[in-house]
Each structure stands twice: as C-alpha cells, then as structure tokens.
Structure 1
Amino acid sequence: MIWWETDLCRMIADGGRFVIRYDNRDTGLSTSYPTGNPGYALSDMASDAIRILDWLEVRSAHIVGRSLGAAIALAIAIDHPKRALSITFVSATTGDDDLPAMTSEFEEATSKIPDFSNLAALENHIVEVLRIFSGNSPHFDEVEMRSLSALDIARTRNMQSTLANHFLIDFDAPRNGELSDLSIPALIVHGENDPVFPLPHGRALSDAVPGSRLLVLPDTGHDIPRQHWEIFVTALTDHTKI
C-alpha cells in the first residue's frame, strides 16, 4: 500500500475524500504465499476489497486502482456493482492482443533475479526497475524511490513472492460482464511514456468504456510522479463528486 504514497493520500483526503489503502495479497503485511504458487485468483483479490469495505461498514465507494489494481477495480465494479460509485483506472489496459507490448528495457529489467540475501543489492534492483517503470522520466526521484523501496523491503513478508506471484495469478474476473458494461463514471489516467502498457493501451481503454474521461500525464511512465499529484488529485476529486 505504501506505493500509494502517504502525502498523496493526504492530498486526496484534504479534498474531502476518505482514503482506504491496504496491502494486497503477497505484498507488505498481508498474507504471503509460496513463491511461484500464489494459490489465489483475481476474483479473490476483488473479494478482499469487498471484505475490507464490509469490515469498515462502507456500503459503497469510489474505486481507484493502478496497474494490477485497475484489474481488481474492474472486477469489483462489474461483479459487485452495488459497491462501486465510480471507477478510476491508472496505468491500465484492455488486455487486447493487438496493443503494443511492454518495452524490451522493462522486460529485461524485470526478468533479472536479484540476490534476495543481500538487502543492498535487492534495494538497488528495485530502484533500477522503478527508474525504467517511470519511463525514464525527468521526474524520477531516486532518493524518494530508494526510501520507499527500503520501507517496502522492511515491511514485506516475502519479497520473492511479491516480485513473482502477481504475474502468475488466474485472471478469472470479472465474471458478470466486461468493460462495455460499465455504467458508472470512469476516469482513465495514463502516462505518456508508460513502458508496461504504452499509451495506446490507455486510449483503447477509454474507447472501450462508455462515457469515460482520459487524462494523459506527460513525461510519465507506469506511475504518478509527485509533480503531477495536483493534476491527478484535482481530476480525481472532480470525478468523485456525486
């Protein structure tokens, strides 16, 4: 959850929103599964979010998800429609096969296996992946990313599972519809230089979701740099006015 930075969440909260963030399975303090054998599917991750809302006694919420979180958000909106007031996709895709592949630089970086017994080497590996993750953006802040990486390593149960298992889950949701069935307000936020899902993915997503709004962040990769937080928060606050 720390990759939704505390300062960013405070900005959203200052706009009159109550922010809920949590560790997905195989991240942070949440349950860790054997590396290479996650034993859960996307539908389970969507159900986790619903259970958190239930525990907090929140009837419905504005759902925001980035990357894998965007797929979870879609599963919530389609399979649990009464719980979603609106949806915001960040760095997301339709999954269509004809869209551009991830960059070779990103693929090469994520295929490297770091030395998990050496914390400094592991931190350096994560920071380098994040640099490429940013689309080699001029906004990339190595000091901040190194600090977040160190915190992530310190509070995560199993970094090997964190870096591997989400690539292996069964994308079995949504089960009750597809993008074109969304009937709630949808905001799509995408980086101009996203190396994971290049910009055509964001445009295709916008075309696929009826009535959606597309916000393209310049000099941005698969993240939201601090320099664009105000733009993002303004758009999100406006989007979630119901």
Structure 2
Amino acid sequence: MAQATANGITIEYEDHGDPSHPPMLLIMGFGAQLTLWPIELVEALVDRGFRVIRYDNRDIGLSHKFDGVKAPGLIKLTILSKLGITPKVPYTLADMADDGAGLLDALEIERAHIVGASMGGMIAQHVAARHSDKALSLTSIFSTTGNPKLPAAKKEAMKVLVTRPASMEEEALVNHGVKLSRTIGSPGYPAPEEKLRDRVRESVRRSVYPEGPTRHLSAIVADGDRRPMLKDVTVPTLVLHGEDDPLVPVEGGRDTAASIPGAAIRTFPGWGHDLPMELVEAIADEIAGHAKASAS
C-alpha cells in the first residue's frame, strides 16, 4: 500500500508486478474501493506479463475525501437530467480521469493500458479521450455511454445501490454489502456465502465512507451522454460485459463498442455486475490479449 499526490489530492494505490513490464492501470467504479478488483485478477494479469496498478478513486477507500462538500440529491439530479440541465456538482468524471492520469505522472509512467469497471469504465473512457497520449489501450468493463435511450438498471439493483446501510455498526454494514453483492452480482456465478461475507467484512474494516458515493453519483449524472466524446477515441478498445447485468444492462456495453471506432466487444452469459472467481482467468485472458495485441 502506498500514497501519491496526483491532481492536487492524495491517492491510495497498490503497485503489483515487475516495474519493467508494461503498466496497466485499473480504475474501479461507483463507491468501490480498489480491493473490489479481486487480487486473483490482479495476480492473473501480473502472471501474463503486466505491472498492475489499482487505486482508490477520490472520495472512497483511503484516498482524499471531500468532507463537507455538498452534492445534489438523487431526486434533483434526476429532474435536472430529464430537463437537459447539467447540475452543478463537486467534481466531474473528467476530474477523476485527471486523477488517474496524474497518478501515472506521479509514478513516472508515460503510457499505460487503461482498464475501468462500471463508473471506472466511464472514467477510463475519459482518460482515453482526454489523455490519449497516456493510453496504450482501453478496456471498458460493464460500463456504458450515458446514452439516455439505453435500458435502465433494474429497479431492485438501483434501489440497493443508493440505499444507505441501516446503521454504521459492522454487522449492519456487512449485511448491506452482502445484499448489494447478491442483488447486482452474477446469477450464473453466485459467490459462496462465507467467502462473500469475509470479503465484504474486509472491505468494511478497511474503510467506510457513505458520503463519497453521493458525490460519485452526481458526477455520473452530470457527465451526460459520452457518445460525442467516444467517437474521437483512437486507442485500441475492448468492451467486456455480462449478458445478465442488472445494474448496467448489456446494451450499455454494446453501445460503448458501437460508439468507439474499431472497438471490439465480448459478452459472457451468466455474468452480472461483479468480478466472479469463475471468470477471473477468462477476463484476464481478454484484457491481457487485447493489451498485447495493442502493443504489437
């Protein structure tokens, strides 16, 4: 575990693998700590010849917190979005992309393979568009374009995502995390109960910060439709998506691939909005294969 100053804030990160190997930056999603990238996936990518860096986004985990900075509530965000009005938010996904690019600068990495999941995929899209000189390739995982005509998340998935835990006691937090994982997770690859609870408990004990996701959500809504930006992305792009994702339906992945010139897409049946152990090797093969092909 280590920290770096990037884009004017403190970023918590982990650096795995041989420093001489091609670097790969993993960007996690909404309200999620770097530990949501399974260490098994990190190690699988290291074994495939990459230096892998995963980090906590701003306002989550052990990175900088924007304490006291107010964000619009979900109802206001929704109304403004439907009216076509961009809400004023504490920070944007573009700012968060600048964090990732700044972390690469702090680590003296000129270019890296950029991999993002969910909101992290949106941030990765911004890195590829705004910092194309730093991106060797882009892999967007169960993410989307912001196209308002795409199918929405299932109601139960969105509800559990934005509902706060019943209390800040550890067991309540663990129960909430398990319910979230079960609701948005892969129907084809359900995690064993004991292992899931242990993983959630480790996350709770590492950091709990309910205010961060509120500001993350405001950044997502304010970002709007990214398709005009994505048409100018020139780095080699791969889209990975689950065919049974209840939070970001697979149409979001297909729209991402259709919006980026030359992008490839691979979908998996039974995969939801998580990174199940049963798919780690397949996902690592896809990411690594794409990165190596991009460099050749």
More strand by share: 2
Aligned with 2:217 (options 167, 177, 182) = 167
Secondary structure of the corresponding residue to residue 32 of structure 1: coil
Residues 1-242 of structure 1 correspond to what in structure 2 (within 5 A)? 1-34=34-67, 37=70, 39-156=90-207, 158-169=208-219, 171-172=222-223, 178-241=229-292, 242=295
Q: Which 5+ residue runs of structure 1 have no aligned equivalent?
A: none
Q: Which has the higher mean CA deviation after the structures are superposed, 60-69 or 26-35?
A: 26-35
Pair 216,131 (structure 1): closer, same or farther in 2 beyond 3 Å: same
Alignment RMSD? 2.0
Q: Which runs of 5+ in 2 are unaligned?
A: 1-33, 72-89
TM-score normalized with structure 1 length? 0.92
CA 1:183–1:19: 2 relative to 1, 3 Å: same
Percent identity of equivalent pairs: 34
Name the aligned partner's letter for residue 145 of structure 2: T
Aligned AA (1:229): V
Tell me the secondary structure at the aligned position of residue 59 of structure 1: coil
The answer to which structure, 1 or 2, has the higher relative contact order (CA under 8 A, 6+ apart) is 1
Moved more, 112-121 or 35-44: 35-44
SS of equivalent residue, structure 1 residue 240: helix
Q: Deviations over 1:46-78 (max 9, x none)?
A: 111111111111000000000111111111111
Q: Note closer, same or farther for the CA distance 1:37–1:144 as it changes in structure 2 (3 Å cut).
A: farther
Give the letter for the 1:166 counterpart: H
TM-score (norm 2): 0.76
Residues 77 and 166 of structure 1, relative CA distance in 2, 3 Å threshold: same
Q: Give the length in aligned residue pairs.
A: 240
User: How far does the alpha carbon of each residue in 1:161-215 deviate from its partner, in whole angstroms, 9 at most, with x for none?
Assistant: 244331122645999x611111111010001111111111111111111111111
